[in-house]
């Protein structure tokens, strides 16, 4: 008898024509995350991973951070195909499991096996009932014992642990996340990675108005995201000159609107330079003056690529809930100033006018300043955070 890890696919199982691309990417993502010997086989229904017994727990931990997996199950393969041995092993397997209702589901692809599917399910079910206090429930059982009788072996398994769901990272192309030290943008990043988008991140700093600690906080957040999105690049843009030029020349109530238009311009240029197709940020409708619909539309006006706002329709408590689950909350709430918060006017405009923005922007040589900031960008390769393998979303 040999142990085998079985993966059930998440949403990708609904893909038809290009399912192979999704499966291949999932396999590659798993391949590059497992740092020990392993074999991966797959078909359209499931993926099978074989590792040495010692590495099974570690492998399951790694898999619990990989998008595209609906369920992770430990199965057993028995090449002898002897029904009595299998019965004994199944009893062993369920001994430690807590359940009150169960069913046995048998599939038999080897039609020459002496027992047919019904007989296997019935006999095994009867033996389980004698050995454990439980009942059969064929409609809504707490656990299902699967038996698959194949020509080469019998495979059996019960319930597994939930995977993260979503699409394998990279299957939907690339995006650039505007990552601040706040609560919202790491959550926005996580949700986008879950949709199969490989992310890079962009952070605007304003030294000396913002501190090195503020930047370290963003690096820490990027490290958490990189657990799901390996080999993440973080671009850091020094925004000080642009921000000071805005502060000197732009009417106070328009500071944030113009500042965000500059951020978007830079984000688009960086996104295009690395072939990212979308900009992602943590804006949420109505959260602050720059996130009213008019503000968002006036700010969005400077770019011609899609801006995805995964938390646009979440309220703050819903966002915080996810931030806690992915363990970014405690870092996001460390008290360091961000460049958006350093110069916030008391009464920012709620309904900015595009024509005014265009007028005001003539007062600063922003093209020049943007070029300079981009040419001096810092590129940080994020080292993956040690995985903590706790309960995650």
Residues binding Mg ion (CB under 5 A): 184
Options 127, 288, 354, 393; binder of ligand ATP; rule CB under 6 A: 288
> What angle in degrees, to the nearest 10, is found between the helix axes of 212-225 and 184-194?
20
255 interacts with ligand ATP by CB under 6 A: no
Minimum distance from CB of 338 to ligand ATP (Å)? 5
Closest to ligand ATP by CB, 102 vs 254, is 254
Pairing of strands 198-205, 233-238: parallel
Closest to ligand ATP by CB, 29 vs 243, is 243
Q: 343 Cβ partners below 8 Å, 6+ apart?
A: 209, 243, 247, 255, 259
Options 59, 106, 185, 276; binder of ligand ATP; rule CB under 6 A: 185
Closest to Mg ion by CB, 184 vs 205, is 184
State whether residue 26 is helix, strand or coil.
helix
283 interacts with ligand ATP by CB under 6 A: yes
Residues 66-105 that bind ligand ATP (CB under 6 A): none
183 interacts with ligand ATP by CB under 6 A: yes
Q: 235 Cβ partners below 8 Å, 6+ apart?
A: 200, 201, 202, 203, 270, 377, 378, 379, 380
Q: 231 Cβ partners below 8 Å, 6+ apart?
A: 381, 382
Residue closest to ligand ATP when measured from CB atoms: 182
Neighbours of 102 (CB within 10 A): 23
Instruction: Determine the Cα–Cα distance for residues 27 and 8; give it in Å rounded to an integer.
Output: 13
Minimum distance from CB of 182 to Mg ion (Å)? 5
Name the binder of 339 from Mg ion, ligand ATP, none, CB < 5-8 A by kind: ligand ATP
Instruction: Determine the Cα–Cα distance for residues 253 and 269; give it in Å rounded to an integer.
Output: 26
Pairing of strands 233-238, 143-149: unpaired
| Paired residues of 279 in beta bridges | 176, 307
Minimum distance from CB of 212 to ligand ATP (Å)? 14
Q: What angle do CA 333, 268, 332 make, to 5 degrees?
A: 5
Closest to Mg ion by CB, 148 vs 184, is 184
Closest to Mg ion by CB, 183 vs 357, is 183
Instruction: Determine the Cα–Cα distance for residues 23 and 13; give it in Å rounded to an integer.
Output: 9
Minimum distance from CB of 103 to ligand ATP (Å)? 46
314 interacts with ligand ATP by CB under 6 A: no
Minimum distance from CB of 383 to ligand ATP (Å)? 20
Phi, psi for 203 (deg, rounded to 5)? -125, 135
Q: Applying CB under 6 A, which part among 112-120, 177-185, 362-370, 374-382 lies near ligand ATP?
A: 177-185
Closest CA to 242 of 226, 221, 270, 261: 261
268 interacts with ligand ATP by CB under 6 A: no
Closest to Mg ion by CB, 293 vs 379, is 293
| Paired residues of 74 in beta bridges | 5
**Binding map of ligand ATP across residues 134-173, x = CB under 6 A, - = no contact:** ----------------------------------------
Name the binder of 243 from ligand ATP, Mg ion, none, CB < 5-8 A by kind: none
Minimum distance from CB of 66 to ligand ATP (Å)? 25
Options 338, 348, 349, 373; binder of ligand ATP; rule CB under 6 A: 338
Options 172, 178, 259, 312; binder of ligand ATP; rule CB under 6 A: 178
Q: 321 Cβ partners below 8 Å, 6+ apart?
A: none
Minimum distance from CB of 330 to ligand ATP (Å)? 13
Minimum distance from CB of 331 to ligand ATP (Å)? 12
Q: What angle do CA 78, 84, 87 make, to 5 degrees?
A: 75
In 327-350, which positions are buried (b, 16+ CB within 10 angstroms) versus exposed (e)? bbbebbeeeeebbbeebeeeebbe
The residues that touch ligand ATP, with contacts defined as CB under 6 A, are 178-180, 182-185, 202-204, 281-283, 287-288, 338-340
């Amino acid at each position: 008898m040999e142990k085998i890890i079985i993966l059930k696919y998440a949403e990708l199982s609904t893909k038809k024509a290009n399912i192979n691309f999704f499966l291949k990417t999932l396999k590659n993502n798993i391949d590059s995350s497992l740092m020990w010997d392993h074999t991966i086989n797959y078909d359209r229904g499931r993926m099978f991973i074989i590792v040495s017994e010692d590495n099974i727990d570690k492998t399951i931990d790694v898999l619990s951070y990989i998008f595209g997996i609906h369920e992770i199950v430990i199965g057993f393969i028995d090449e002898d195909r002897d029904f009595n041995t299998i019965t004994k092993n199944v009893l062993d397997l369920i001994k430690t499991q807590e359940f009150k209702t169960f069913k046995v589901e048998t599939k038999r692809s080897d039609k020459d096996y002496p027992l047919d599917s019904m007989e296997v399910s019935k006999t095994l079910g009867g033996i389980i009932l004698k050995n454990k206090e439980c009942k059969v429930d064929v409609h809504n059982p707490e656990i299902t014992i699967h038996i698959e009788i194949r020509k080469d072996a019998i495979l059996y398994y019960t319930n597994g642990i939930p995977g993260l769901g979503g699409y394998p990272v990279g299957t939907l192309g690339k995006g650039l996340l505007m990552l601040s030290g706040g609560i919202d943008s790491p959550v926005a990043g996580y949700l986008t990675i879950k949709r199969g988008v490989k992310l890079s991140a962009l952070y605007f700093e304003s030294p000396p108005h913002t501190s090195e600690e503020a930047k370290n906080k963003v690096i820490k957040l990027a490290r958490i995201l990189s657990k799901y999105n390996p080999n993440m690049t973080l671009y850091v843009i020094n925004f000080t000159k642009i921000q000071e030029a805005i502060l000197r020349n732009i009417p106070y109530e328009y500071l944030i609107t113009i500042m965000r238009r500059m951020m978007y311009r830079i984000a688009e240029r960086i996104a295009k330079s690395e072939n990212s197709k979308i900009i992602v940020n943590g804006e949420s409708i109505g959260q602050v003056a720059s996130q009213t619909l008019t503000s968002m539309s006036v700010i969005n006006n400077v770019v011609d690529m899609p801006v995805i706002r995964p938390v646009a329709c979440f309220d703050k408590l819903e966002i915080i809930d996810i931030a806690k689950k992915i363990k970014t909350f405690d870092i996001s709430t460390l008290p360091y100033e961000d460049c958006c918060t350093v110069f916030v006017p008391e009464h920012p405009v709620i309904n900015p006018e595009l024509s005014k923005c265009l007028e005001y922007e003539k007062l600063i040589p922003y093209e020049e300043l943007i070029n300079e900031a981009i040419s001096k960008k810092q590129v940080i390769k994020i080292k993956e955070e040690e995985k903590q393998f706790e309960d995650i979303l």
